[in-house]
Structure 1
Amino acid sequence: MKIELPDKVAEQLRVNGTDKVKIELRNHDAVITTEASEMSLFQRISLWWYLAPAIISAIVFNVFFATKNQNQIPLSGNTSLGTTVILGGVVIGTLMFAIFFIRERRNQTNTFSANIYWRNFPVVILSFAVILGLALLGVFWLLGTIFAGATFDRLTSTIIFFIFESMINYLMIYAAFSISSRTLVRLFTLVIVSGAVIAMATNGTRKWWQYNLSFLGTHLANNSWQFNITLMFSALIMVALIDYIFVSLNAIYPHSIRLLTLRILLTAMSIDLGAVGFFPNNAASHDIHDRLASFLVYFIIILIVGIRWLLPRIPSAFLQMSYSVGAILVTAEVLFKFVGYLSLTAYEIIGFTLAFGWVVLLLQFLQELVDKGTRVFYVKAQAEQKVKTKDLD
């Protein structure tokens, strides 16, 4: 049996007439892979990309504390092991991610990197830097809580620093190789959820729930800038994701007025989300904050009502789920404004959770449309008269 692959598939798999490919049957699907696609990350790049920056930064770490004549280094604090790992990890890890993300884009080996516009490049880089920073903050907050008051000598601290930096470099390089639009959806979800949860946790003693959700971004809250930055970065990620998805959809559904309308609405909603964080609910910007927050509700309602006409081939299950979300939002509005049953905080949490979840599901459905339009190829199978056993191995 002889199978002919389309030129586009052969080009993406990087195979020529003499290369061998592997066909793996999974249920009713046939998955074609090459030796290059099965290479691990350690085989694709030199080990020195992980180790060299970690070694150099570890030497700088040791010299820094040696010049301060500090032989015992605390695990947490202003000048500590945790602080230096976070700063060094974010700077060097982001640099590693940027280098390999650009390389993948130029080599055209990653579909997402190849198709994303340069205008969205800073958004993607900064988003991964923020996620890395939040993750490291969480790790060392946990370690500082478990090992309260722990200190290490300079050599031990240098070794721990080197281990952390090596792991961070590997993870960020791996992220640059494996990034996709689905990864960006997860990143969007992770940024906004982690930012909101951290803001709620740090303001627990201030009883933020007795005010409203917007209290987390006011000057009365602890570290209110984190909550506002979360909203703004989430908006930037969403704009980049929408840009990529609709550019890909335009190749499948060219000159679609419905998709163009949906893109404008989603982009406007993303900008509005960022503006809510840019104008916190302080006294000076209270009015504009409330108006922007109201616009978010209007955008969601328009999208839910119009999704039936804006999306091609929308499944009935998604449509029913959308209308259910809309009905719950309207019910919550009535219970809050007219009945007085729900508090402002409960109303905002219900509205935010439902709207955010619906937007994530919508983005995933749009990605499925992209996948269906770009992963279907027709191949020609031709039987040969003589088949040798060694040709099938």
Structure 2
Amino acid sequence: MVENQQIHISIPKKALDKLSLNYGDELLAQIDRDRIIIQPKPEKANSQTQSLRWFMLPALLAGVVALINFFIQKTRYVKLSGGNSISQITIYLAVVFGFVVFLAALLLLGGKQLVMASLWSKIRSVLTLSIAFTILNFSITSFCFYFIDLAFHGVMLDRYTSSALIAGFVGISCYLMMNAALSINFSTITTTLILTLVGGIFLSMITNKQQNWWQINFSYLGSNLSNNWWQFNFTLIFSASIMLTLIDYIFSLLSLIPKFITIQTRILRILLTGSSIAFGLVGVFQNNRAIDWLHQLHWWTSNLLVVFILLIIIGIRWLLPGITKEFLLTAYGFAGLLALSEILFQWVHYLSLTAFEIISFGLAFGWLILLMQNLNNLYLENAEIFTIEIK
């Protein structure tokens, strides 16, 4: 082959149409080990303008709001932490502007990433993801200022410098939120779900005033006896909302592939949706023994969640066509471990109630994540596959 000789490839027209490409447009080809990655050539000027717009505008507005606040409060020198401080105002403005930027970016720039079957599903998913990432933004910003305060404790700056710093921090926060909105996929939604659930539960454990809560049961964190029961229950409710978003996202993708439009797939989606709703209802109905009907509803929804998960595991062989033998064995392994934990708790009395609840919850949640990961892999293996001919 002659050096620098041009080789042509043939790409199906439907692939070009989906990417809004025309004949003569340039594509970028990158060699990555033993594969070639072909992607549209980004417009550098538009990309830079877009980044500056989403970074500069919120930063400028945040700086102006902060400066006006300092003039109204007649604050000449601003503390790093405490009331009306750099950290407090930055956190508040980062939350507000971050939410608006994420919501706008997801609707205006990342709309194609949320291929939802219905308008209601898309609206619910966009709002859920916006709130979830805003909570993460709040947590990360708070932690950052906690460490900054440790390093520069007692620092006071004039109001102009403080406003500039606040503008910079808010601008960075909004830029990260914009990129997060444009990076929405299965992995980011799953990561958000895990961080929200695990983070919320651990925070409930840490902030609970009853140090020996674990000697009672895991559900104690959401009962009326706990001082911060609302935090634990809100974590369950909001995590269930993110799980519903994940289910809508996966099955909307699968609906694009004809062989997955089956009655079995619909039943699987109904069972997964039911398990998510039951999971959320566990948080809605507080475990309050003083109010018997509320306690009974909590107990019944907890059992309903177990029933849904067992139905999915038992029926997975028929509900998911083309399931691998390895995944089927994994499903039965999870079912066996759930049964073993039940035996060790109910009959052998080896596990305490707290240990039983944590193990059962961990196994059930882990199984659901693995199942949805498998569904996502099925989509990736069957979608957008076509042959490219070298000429």
- Quickly name the TM-score band, shorter chain normalised: 0.7 to 0.9
- Within 5 A, what are the aligned runs for 1:180-219? 180-203=185-208, 206-219=211-224
Q: 2:310 aligns with which of 298, 301, 304?
A: 301
Corresponding residue number in structure 2 for 1:277: 283
Q: Confirm or deny: 8 A CA contact 1:105 1:113 kept in the other structure.
A: no
Which residue of 48, 53, 57 maps to 2:58?
Answer: 53
1:235/1:274 contact within 8 Å kept = yes
Which amino acid in 1 is paired with 2:101? M
Instruction: Render the CA deviation track for 1:221-255: whole Å, top value 9, x for unaligned.
Output: 34332222211111111112211211221232254
Q: Is the 8 A contact 1:250 1:256 kept in 2?
A: no
Partner residue of 2:23? Answer: 17
Q: Distance in 2 between matches of 1:319 and 1:266?
A: 17
Residue among 176, 181, 184 paired with 1:176: 181
Q: Counterpart of 2:129?
A: 124
Match of 1:135?
140
Aligned to 2:114: 112
**Aligned residue identity for 2:94:** G
1:73 and 1:154 in contact (8 A); partners too: yes
**Does residue 1:88 correspond to 2:90, yes or no?**
no
Deviation sequence 1:252-274 (CA, Å, 0-9, x none): 22541111111000000101111
SS in structure 2 opposite 1:282? coil
Distance, in Å, in 1 between the alignment partners of 2:354 and 2:46 is 46
Question: Residue 109 of structure 2 aligns to a residue in which SS?
Answer: helix
Aligned to 1:310: 319
1:226 equivalent to 2:227? Answer no
Q: Which moved more, 1:344-353 or 1:5-14?
A: 5-14
Q: Is the 8 A contact 1:105 1:114 kept in 2?
A: no
**Structure 1 unaligned regions, length at least 5:** 383-393
Q: Alignment RMSD, CA only?
A: 2.5
Task: Indicate the residue corresponding to 1:391 in structure 2.
Answer: none
Task: Report the alpha carbon displacement of residue 124 of structure 1 after superposing the two structures with TM.
Answer: 2.4
TM-score with structure 1 length normalisation?
A: 0.87
* Matched position secondary structure for 1:117: helix
Q: Which moved more, 1:224-233 or 1:201-210?
A: 201-210
Give, as a single letter, the amino acid of the residue that structure 1 aligns with 2:56.
L
Letter of the 2:61 partner, please give it.
I
Please, which moves more after superposition, 203-212 or 177-186?
Answer: 203-212
Take 2:42 and 2:190, find their aligned partners in 1: how far apart are those partners? 27
Contact 1:120 1:240 in 2 (8 A): yes
Cα displacement (A) at 1:153: 4.3
The equivalent residue for 2:240 is 235
Distance in 1 (CA, whole Å) between partners of 2:352 and 2:55 is 51
Matched, 1:332 2:341: yes
Alpha-carbon contact 1:206-1:221 (below 8 Å) kept: no
Partner of 1:248: 253
> What SS is found at the alignment partner of 2:347?
helix
CA contact (8 A) 2:116 2:248 kept: no
Determine if contact 2:113/2:184 at 8 Å carries over to the other structure: no
Q: Distance in 2 between matches of 1:141 and 1:296?
A: 39
Q: CA-to-partner distance for each residue in 1:293-340, whole Å, 9 max, x for gaps?
A: 122222222222221221122122222222222111111111111121
Work out whether residues 210 and 226 of structure 2, in 8 Å CA contact, stay in contact via their aligned partners in 1: no
> What is the CA-CA distance between 1:40 and the residue it aligns to?
9.6
Deviation at residue 42 of structure 1 after TM alignment: 5.0
Equivalents in 2 of 1:353, 1:54: separation in Å?
Answer: 41
SS of 1:45's partner is helix
1:93 CA displacement: 0.7
Q: Quick one: distance in 2 between partners of 1:223 and 1:76?
A: 25
**For 2:361 and 2:152, how far apart are their aligned partners in 1?**
36
Paired residue for 1:262? 268
1:356 pairs with one of 351, 365, 383:
365
The 8 Å contact of residues 197 and 235 in structure 2, kept in 1 or not, is answered as yes
The alignment's TM-score, normalised by the length of structure 2, stands at: 0.88
CA distance in 2 between partners of 1:349 and 1:235 (Å): 17
Distance in 1, Cα, partners of 2:196 & 2:233: 12
1:166 paired residue among 160, 171, 192: 171
Change in 2 beyond 3 A, CA 1:339/1:264: same
Inter-partner Cα distance in structure 2 for 1:348 and 1:117: 34
**Distance (Å, rounded) in 2 between the aligned partners of 1:24 and 1:255:** 35
Mapped partners of 2:386, 2:211: distance in 1: 58
**Matched AA of 2:273:** T
| 1:26 alignment partner in structure 2 | 32
How many matched pairs?
378
